[in-house]
Chain A
Amino acid sequence: MISMLDKIWFPLSLTLRVAAISSILVLCSGVAIAYVFARRDFRGKGLAELFVTLPLVLPPTVIGYILVILVGRNGFLGQIIFNALGTGIMFTWQAAVIAAYTVSLPLMVHTAKAAIEGVDREIEYAAYILGKSELETAMQITIPLAKKGILAGLILSFARAIGEFGATLMLAGNIPGKTNTMSISIYSAFQAGNNELANLLVLILVFMSLLTIALTGRFVGKLEV
């Protein structure tokens, strides 16, 4: 029984940790990217938006493959990481964070961008006229007014990070006690014919997803200004 609890507890805590860290990163960078997309015009903006959206439609294996090329030992980012840390990042839980971040970022950017575009530009102009810089206006006026959409984006990203499988498998592998997240554990339990464990993990994951949906509805609904 104790080993069963262990087999559930590790994937669950790992999944929550990966999803939480990925979501924090997605929140910070996603809102900034969404603001720039919503409020600035620059050359290559269309291309940049396309690039950010791509993980939404690419097959997970393709995302995983590209990430391996990027952050693997010989990859452009991989070399930087190796030089900085003295160790590679492949097949670690941090790699799972990278995978989760990549697939959930577009959800945040799109939701937050729509929310920011919904903020009346004249309200921002009023802030500029009152002497607030663009950064101050974004932090004190625009983002607080778009918080409903941003929160929705955050919840969606978190849910997506929890369910992440394909890219994680390729980038972080399936190392028991190290990188076996919920989704990956379900896969290996199923492969090993351990239906009891698979059922339990699936039940937990379904429950968590239901919770997310309920939270989205309640939270976002309640946040009317």
Chain B
Amino acid sequence: MRLGVKVDLKKQYKETEINGKKSTKKAFTSTKKAFTLDISFEMGNELVVLFGPSGSGKTTLFKCISGLTEPDDGKITVESKVYYDKNQKINLPIQKRNLGYVFQNYTLFPHMNVRKNIECGLKGWEKEDKEVRVAEMLDLLHIEELETRYPSQLSGGQKQRVALARALAPKPGILLLDEPFSALDMAIRTRLAEKIKNLQNKIGIPLLFITHNFEEAYLLADRILILYEGNVQQFGTPEEILYHPENRHVADLTGLSNIFDEAKVERCDEESKNIILKSGDMRIKVKSQNLKLGDKVSWGIHPENITLLLPDSGPENHDENVYSAHVNSIISKGPRKRITLKLVRQNKTLIAEVPAQFVDSMKLCAGGLCLVKLETSKVVAFRSL
């Protein structure tokens, strides 16, 4: 039984503290929020993505785990190592925590070549062991040919791979990645994300990953931890987060549009987990584990998950969430089209995103009619705040 990572901490958090330098303009930046970071979670050898808006405390959490800042209260353990324990007055120095940290700006040492950078964390190793380990890291990240180069001679993607190699060389107990890809362009981002996913399987240590990009989170994560104003909103698999958000914050963060508030659970079938919501004049069937009769809920659907059918493909069928709709407008977004739909009888506007090819073959055009199907398993419902 592995011990994994246990984090349970509280910290007064001020956004004015930027890059370790206290802002002296505090009086002029009164819009900046101060709140308490109150986070508790456990993880094993998995990749957990921390996801939340800026200022939700993601980086502060990383600073607490790495020892760059001290929490006010709580306990942090990684495997059998106690990093921090308020009760036992333990606050392990940064140097002794044995963790890997990859910063957004790479933070490679500019006056050392790639080899020297990677060797930096191998203090006290025998010379031969050092050489073997550096070679392993160069091989693991496919950067053998960069060995003697200096950081200024590397591209962004190469720098980030070197930073990863450097962080992993001392065999850390946990790897923290603070928006490692945000300075890279999209193509390299995706490739590196796949790389990280593969690495995770090879190195078998807990990985914590901060990102602002939900697609990236979805692609990488075994589980996603949603943070909002210093609190954990939800901790679950990408599927759970996407289709069963706990609340509005989570739904907003996953990019759910088409959200309708003021709906109510009208019927609840325990066996099939089918739930009927009444939302204004509209009845809609959803699948949900934790809603009860009479609950006030919001519901919504991702634009990509709306199915369009030809108007002559059948009648409206409210049991299957099929409604007839007017096409208000069609906007091209390259390979996809964004369609604004108005449900005829339910007086609701939906936005759908469908492949352009599909719109063309249906001969859909603004002003026309069609049928809209909201797949039961794709409709998202959550309790209103």
Contacts and interface: CB of A to CB of B under 8 A. Distances in A.
Interface in B109-139: 109-111, 120-121, 123
Contact of B101 (A120, A129, A132, A225): A129
B276 to A, nearest CB: 53
Contact of A127 (B66, B96, B109): B109
Interface centre among A126, A128, A129, A133 (most CB of B within 10 A): A129
Interface centre among A123, A128, A131, A133 (most CB of B within 10 A): A131
Given A131-B95, A144-B111, A126 B20 contact: no
B120 A122 contact: no
A145 interface: yes
A123 B106 CA distance: 9
Contacts of A126: 101, 103, 107, 109
A222 to B, nearest CB: 15
A127 B19 CA distance: 16
Contacts of B347: none
B interface, how many residues as a size bin? 20 to 34
Given A122-B103, A225-B110, A225-B111, A127 B120 contact: yes
B109 A141 contact: yes
Contact of B110 (A121, A131, A145): A145
Interface string B163-200: 00010001000000000000000000000000000000
A130 B171 CA distance: 11
B94 interface: yes
Interface of A is mostly: helix
A125 interface: yes
Interface string A207-225: 0000000000000000001
B107 A123 contact: yes
A121 to B, nearest CB: 5
B377 interface: no
Given A130-B170, A132-B120, A123 B109 contact: yes
B152 interface: yes
Interface in B66-87: 66, 68
B121 A131 contact: yes
B95 A122 contact: no
Given A120-B105, A125-B68, A132 B111 contact: no
Interface string A148-173: 00000000000000000000000000
Contact of A129 (B99, B109, B111, B123): B99
Nearest to B66: A129
B175 to A, nearest CB: 11
Given A121-B19, A122-B105, A225-B152, A130 B110 contact: no
A225 B170 CA distance: 27
Contacts of A127: 109, 120
A131 B123 contact: yes
A123 B109 CA distance: 7
B205 to A, nearest CB: 15
Nearest to B152: A225
A145 B123 CA distance: 21
Contacts of B94: 125, 128-129
Interface of A: 120-123, 125-133, 141, 144-145, 225
14 contacts: A120-B105, A121-B19, A123-B109, A125-B66, A125-B103, A125-B107, A127-B120, A129-B100, A130-B120, A130-B166, A130-B170, A133-B95, A141-B109, A225-B111
